[in-house]
């Protein structure tokens, strides 16, 4: 299957999965007793965080490969993964306060998970600023790779924050009814598919741009 055909397939699959996911969220999953309709943000808030972590893990891995091998191919993937991952992080940091306002009565609390996630978002924002204002050369790519590797250290910190330091708002675990579990699993698959489709498209653009500029051959 050619890359163009694969890209179209991924987007078609993503659209179908997300339509079905939304149907499940709003017609199949029962209302949560305490929070009501606003709890349905959960079905995209948490999967967006999971997808972001996977994309940042991809960027971490390929940044290491780029520093080791120096091949622009690895840098293109790392750059694309951070860009797409940053979008999902932004979804998380935007939907979280909306959910929190209804659940906790406040938009924001300076507790470990929220604070560490904000730091994570800021560090990868710094990565994007390096790419935006730096030259399109190997020096900028190496600096960005170092930033991506250092920033990734905060990912396990965010994940373990509640276990290590506790939380006044985030529960350690969430009990879900069977219908909620099915809906969450389907939503997670739909969001992950969206992240994969976006990553594939962004990588294709990056490869084409790099090839046209001759960087793939000259670096």
Indicate whether 169 pLDDT > 90.
no
Q: Nearest CA to 138 among 82, 84, 66?
A: 66
For 32, phi and psi rounded to 5 degrees?
Answer: -75, 135
**Residue 211 pLDDT:** 67
Q: What is the mean pLDDT of the chain?
A: 88
**Residue 34 pLDDT:** 74
Segment 95-103 mean pLDDT:
82
Confidence bin at 99 (pLDDT 50/70/90)? confident
Q: Nearest CA to 113 among 175, 56, 46?
A: 46
Confidence bin at 216 (pLDDT 50/70/90)? very low
Predicted TM-score (pTM) of the model is 0.90
pLDDT digits (tens, 9 = 90+) for 11-29: 999 999 999 999 999 999 8
Count, residues in the chain: 219
**Residue 215 pLDDT:** 54
Confidence bin at 217 (pLDDT 50/70/90)? very low
Q: Quick one: DSSP state of residue 155?
A: H
């Amino acid at each position: 299957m050619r890359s163009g055909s694969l890209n179209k397939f991924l987007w078609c699959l993503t659209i179908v999965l997300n339509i079905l996911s939304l149907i499940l969220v709003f017609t199949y999953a029962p209302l949560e007793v305490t929070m009501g309709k606003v709890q349905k943000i959960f079905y995209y808030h948490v999967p967006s965080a999971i997808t972001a972590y996977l994309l940042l893990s991809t960027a971490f891995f390929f940044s290491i490969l780029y520093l080791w091998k120096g091949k622009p191919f690895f840098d293109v993937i790392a750059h694309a993964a951070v860009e797409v991952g940053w979008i999902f992080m932004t979804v998380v940091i935007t939907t979280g306060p909306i959910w929190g306002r209804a659940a906790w009565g406040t938009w924001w609390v300076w507790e470990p998970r929220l604070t560490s996630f904000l730091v994570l978002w800021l560090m990868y924002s710094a990565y994007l600023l390096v790419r935006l204002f730096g030259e399109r050369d190997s020096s900028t790519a190496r600096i960005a790779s170092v930033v991506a590797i250092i920033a990734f250290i905060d990912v396990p910190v965010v994940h373990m924050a509640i276990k290590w330091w506790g939380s006044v708002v985030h529960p350690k675990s969430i009990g879900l009814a069977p219908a909620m579990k099915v809906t969450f699993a389907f939503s997670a698959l739909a969001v992950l598919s969206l992240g994969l489709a976006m990553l594939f498209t962004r990588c294709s653009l990056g490869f084409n741009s790099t090839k046209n500029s001759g960087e793939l051959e000259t670096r």
